[in-house]
Amino acid sequence: MNASNTTNTDTSYIGRPVNRVDGVLKVTGKAQYAGEYNTSGLLHGIVICSPIPRGKITSVSTSDALKVKGVKKVFTHENVKGLPWFDLSYKDMELLPGSPFRPFYSNEILFSQQPVALVVAESLELARYASTLVRIQYETAEFETSLERNLKKGFTPRRGKTGYEKPKSRGKAERALKKADVKVEAAYFHGAEHHNPMEMFSSTVLYENDDKLTIYDKTQGVLNSQSYVTRVFGLKSKNVRVLSPFVGGAFGSGLRPQYQLFMSVLAALDLKQSVRVTLTRQQMFSFGHRPITWQKLELGANKEGRLMGISHTAISETSRFETYTENVVNWSGRLYECENVRLDYQLVPLDVNSPLDMRAPGAATGVLALECAMDELAYALNIDPLELRLKNYTEIDPAMKRAFSSKNLMDCYKQGAEHFGWEKRSYQPRSMKDGKHLIGWGMSSGMWDAMMMPARAKARLTPDGKLTVSSATADIGTGTYTIMTQIAAETLGLPLNDVTFMLGDSSFVFAPFEGGSSTAASVGTAVLYVCQNIKEEVFKLAQKIDGSPFHNTSIEKVVFANGYITSEDDPQQTIAIAEVLQRSGVKFIEEKSTDLKLKNLIKQGKYSRNTHSAVFVEVKVDEDLGMISVTRVVSAVAAGTIINPKTSRSQVLGGVIWGISMALHEDTFLDNNLGRFMNHDLAEYHIPVHADNPEIEVIFVREKDEIINPLGVKGLGEIGIIGVASAVANAVFHATGKRVREFPITLDKVF
């Protein structure tokens, strides 16, 4: 593995833009993903999905498929028996209330594209061909997939999945809104979106005698997959090892075990052979999605522009078998100072598969509506949209009535506006032009949680001075490998090249799935602690060495840097870390971070912990054709310590592209007559391409946080997307004078 700056002997890596440690593997094609582990005798499975959204399978004919030489078996509900009955066996760490979908459990169809059969053959070509020979008859039942037609059928969820916070209203919003000098009221809508990581979901199950399995799975959490497999198939943990060293993007789609994992394990156990099941791109639309959501915002302000009342209602879809919840409306009670806030979150069960966390779930949706409404309020008040945000700035979390562990949104606004040139904006819509293009400048705020989850790490230092640190966490493109290496190297004062961080293996110590922007903070802290433990052990050994210069020195009086322990007072008193181990005669020093060790858990509980952002966007709209392009974005982010400015910037760049995509491109069309997503491929499901890429500037404002964790790290995976779509929408209004409240904003909606 390669890293830049290694010639520099300075081992202070935190805050340095070092290159990704897995970079060489990724640019040479040597990074191996779940569906790329080949072995002799590997069988291939192809999944068949239901064309109807609700009903029953009335007959299955597999005889033609089975006649093909090389076809091993066709699995359907008819021949898969003996699976557990209880919901609990199928639950995963997302813990949705309800009954998780169980492949092949019965002949019942619950959603369109439900997987109904698996054809396993000796080659991919034969499996695919044989899958066309399987005949399945269906009986369609009445179904309903339209959220818009059923907005009145919403219910308020009593409880939700992992991380759900029931929205809490405060004050008297209705009265305040009536009394407000200026009021805006608007409804916003966005369709379904699918994650579509570039790598399609795949599991390769390597079978060994006595049902011992090694599984390469596409997942954001190897322990989540391992636990699912052991419970569903009644296997012992020691016989199921799940690995996922490289993940070709996930964006939330890997937070739940997907059905290819179930199917490949089922087939491997049944046939006692190694099996791979890879989904097709079309099937990447068959599991979770960002739910279709309808929202209504009412904002009231006094003449000076101070918010008097906020009302935010969101009505979203869920499946009929699980309650999928997001924190959509909560942000409206936390981003600005306002005493009267009414929040209402409802769900409508429909004949669809359960939605699934997709990058910044809840906030991407809720902040979009809130920040568009804030722009509408600014124009109703006739004041600058940025000025409106500044007037309502809050230093404390108004929902919890407590301080933030840190909040530097103010500098995001200031530096973002300055770099963008916001003061040169002319206020009136349609007032800025470039030839036949209308120019629009819009802005938005963003907010996300800074989560700390329980996580552990293990480290081993050997006499050659090499350190290996491991944890069952993931790197879904986020840079986990790199930043953990940086933290470990800096803590022990070792060169980056002497440190290896390993992840994505269920045999490693516990880490939660990689989600919610929690990994850098949670696993990072575990890595810091375990390396501090190693450091203490090394120092104890160093003190015992014959003629040690540190006999009477405390660990506080020495520095670990550049591979050496050196006295602070006398730089001549120094010894190489490797030499300490060699001269002590130990084979290695190994430490595990003791459980969680969130030393200041109680202190943290007294503070709200969040990241913030301010996003400024320029769009150009063709006045004749209505074509919209985003030409410039400045995203200013406050997320505590930035461990690696290079990989962090990349995460925010990606978030910006996702926000533009949400505003202008992405939409999975649901045909309510068929109950089916129609544009289920990458030609018709639009995401930005190279040509859509604007000039993007990312700013990380200084934010010191001594409460959140010893590193002061808050996480970056989600904050980059939040507020981008609203800034784009507000820019489109500024360019055209037209408020488009239905996303994505396509050219047909602009004029």
Partner 1 sequence: MENIAEIKQPGIAQGQQPASEGQLLPVQLNINGKNYLLHLEPWTSLLDALREYLDLTGTKKGCDHGQCGACTILADGKRINSCLTLAVMYDGIPLTTIEGVAEGDTLHPLQQAFIDHDAFQCGYCTPGQICSAIGMMKEGRAQSSNDIHELMSGNLCRCGAYSNIHDAIEQVMEENINPEKK
- Candidate residues 185, 387, 681, 706; the one interacting with partner 1 per rule CB under 8 A: 681
- Candidate residues 89, 162, 239, 280; the one interacting with partner 1 per rule CB under 8 A: 280
* Least Å from the CB of residue 310 to partner 1: 32
Report how far residue 48's alpha carbon sits from residue 45's, in angstroms, rounded to the nearest whole number.
10
* Least Å from the CB of residue 122 to partner 1: 5
* Of residues 12 and 39, the one with the C-beta less far from partner 1: 39
**What's 404's DSSP letter?**
B
197 binds partner 1 (CB under 8 A): yes
Please give the residues from 6 up to 65 whose contact with partner 1 meets the rule CB under 8 A. Answer: 19-20, 22-33, 35-36, 38-44
- Candidate residues 409, 412, 656, 740; the one interacting with partner 1 per rule CB under 8 A: 656
- Candidate residues 74, 126, 367, 492; the one interacting with partner 1 per rule CB under 8 A: 126
646 binds partner 1 (CB under 8 A): yes
Distances, alpha carbon 340 to alpha carbons 132, 168, 334, 398, in Å: 59, 11, 12, 10
* Least Å from the CB of residue 487 to partner 1: 18
* Least Å from the CB of residue 206 to partner 1: 13
Report how far residue 397's alpha carbon sits from residue 608's, in angstroms, rounded to the nearest whole number.
7
Per-residue three-class SS string for 520-539: HHHHHHHHHHHHHHHHHHHH
* Whether 708 contacts 329, CB under 8 Å: no
| Catalytic site residue from 322, 326, 697, 718 | 718
Q: Tell me how far apart the terminal alpha carbons of the chain are, to the nearest angstrom.
A: 53
Q: x/- site string to partner 1, residues 515 to 554, per CB under 8 A?
A: ----------------------------------------
Please give the residues from 685 up to 704 whose contact with partner 1 meets the rule CB under 8 A. Answer: 687-693, 695-696
Report how far residue 702's alpha carbon sits from residue 504's, in angstroms, rounded to the nearest whole number.
32
203 binds partner 1 (CB under 8 A): no
Please give the residues from 177 up to 196 whose contact with partner 1 meets the rule CB under 8 A. Answer: 196
Using CB atoms within 10 Å of the CB of residue 236, give its burial: 0 to 12 exposed, 13 to 18 middle, 19+ buried: exposed
* Least Å from the CB of residue 36 to partner 1: 4
Report how far residue 62's alpha carbon sits from residue 50's, in angstroms, rounded to the nearest whole number.
15
658 binds partner 1 (CB under 8 A): yes
* Of residues 33 and 607, the one with the C-beta less far from partner 1: 33
* Least Å from the CB of residue 633 to partner 1: 10
718 is catalytic: yes
CA neighbor of 177 nearest in space, from 339, 314, 384, 390: 339
Is the previous residue joined to 744 through a cis bond, with omega within 30 degrees of 0? yes
* Of residues 278 and 330, the one with the C-beta less far from partner 1: 278
Please give the residues from 64 up to 93 whose contact with partner 1 meets the rule CB under 8 A. Answer: 68-70
* Least Å from the CB of residue 15 to partner 1: 16
* Of residues 358 and 542, the one with the C-beta less far from partner 1: 358
Please give the residues from 472 up to 501 whose contact with partner 1 meets the rule CB under 8 A. Answer: 476-479
* Of residues 30 and 175, the one with the C-beta less far from partner 1: 30
* Of residues 40 and 382, the one with the C-beta less far from partner 1: 40
- Candidate residues 601, 627, 682, 747; the one interacting with partner 1 per rule CB under 8 A: 682
Using CB atoms within 10 Å of the CB of residue 547, give its burial: 0 to 12 exposed, 13 to 18 middle, 19+ buried: exposed
* Least Å from the CB of residue 159 to partner 1: 32
Please give the residues from 238 up to 267 whose contact with partner 1 meets the rule CB under 8 A. Answer: 246-251
* Whether 522 contacts 455, CB under 8 Å: yes
Report how far residue 266's alpha carbon sits from residue 105's, in angstroms, rounded to the nearest whole number.
12
Retrieve residue 375's tokens: 């722009």
**What's 555's DSSP letter?**
G
* Of residues 11 and 278, the one with the C-beta less far from partner 1: 278
Per-residue three-class SS string for 223-284: HHHHHHHHHHHCCCHHHEEEECCCCCCCCCCCCCCCHHHHHHHHHHHHHCCCEEEECCCHHH
For CA atoms 653, 655, 661, 663, the dihedral sign is negative
143 binds partner 1 (CB under 8 A): no
* Least Å from the CB of residue 41 to partner 1: 5
Report how far residue 606's alpha carbon sits from residue 705's, in angstroms, rounded to the nearest whole number.
14
* Of residues 285 and 413, the one with the C-beta less far from partner 1: 285
CA neighbor of 29 nearest in space, from 269, 248, 231: 248
* Of residues 81 and 690, the one with the C-beta less far from partner 1: 690
Please give the residues from 388 up to 427 whose contact with partner 1 meets the rule CB under 8 A. Answer: none
Span near partner 1 by CB under 8 A; candidates 346-354, 439-447, 582-590, 684-692? 684-692
244: amino acid identity, one letter: S
**Catalytic site residues?**
718
